[in-house]
């Protein structure tokens, strides 16, 4: 499998993070660089990781809704963009996975 570098953009098209991912058929997985991530968005990712790692699953739906509400878009090297779904970011490990919804060319 070949990895590719993509950018995660907010709805205003500002870069939130850079990811290096491999297409795993139904989702993308790989590493994430959060050095350009705004603190408010980073806090949501930190909260997600804390809830998952702490196995506090009763809070998972709430934090997943916060992540989805970010409305992030993946922009791939060929210029294709797609809304991000089921985004999972683990800042401590620098890992990411997500599904790319319908591509928007």
DSSP sequence for 29-40: EEEEE-TT--HH
Answer whether residue 21 is part of any domain: yes
Distance of CA 5 to the CA centre of its chain: 13
Expressed as residue numbers, the domain containing 43 is 3-100
How many structural domains are present in the chain? 1
Answer whether residue 39 is part of any domain: yes
Answer whether residue 33 is part of any domain: yes
If we measure between CA atoms, which residue out of 8, 11, 53 comes closest to residue 35?
8
The pTM assigned to this predicted structure is 0.91
Alpha-carbon span 37 to 9, nearest angstrom: 10
Give tens-digit pLDDT for 28-74: 999 999 999 999 999 999 999 999 999 998 999 999 999 999 999 99
- Alpha carbon distances (Å) from 50 to 30, 55, 81: 19, 8, 29
Domain harbouring 22, CATH code:
2.40.10
């Amino acid at each position: 499998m070949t990895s590719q570098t993509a950018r995660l953009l907010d709805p205003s098209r500002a870069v939130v993070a850079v990811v290096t991912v491999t297409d795993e058929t139904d989702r993308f997985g790989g590493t994430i660089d959060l050095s350009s991530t705004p603190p408010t968005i980073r806090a949501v990712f930190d909260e997600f990781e804390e809830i998952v790692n702490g196995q506090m699953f009763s809070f998972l739906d709430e934090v997943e809704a916060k992540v989805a509400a970010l409305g992030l878009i993946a922009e791939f090297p060929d210029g294709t963009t797609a809304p991000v779904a089921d985004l999972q970011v683990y800042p401590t490990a620098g890992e990411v996975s997500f599904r790319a919804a319908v591509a928007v060319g």
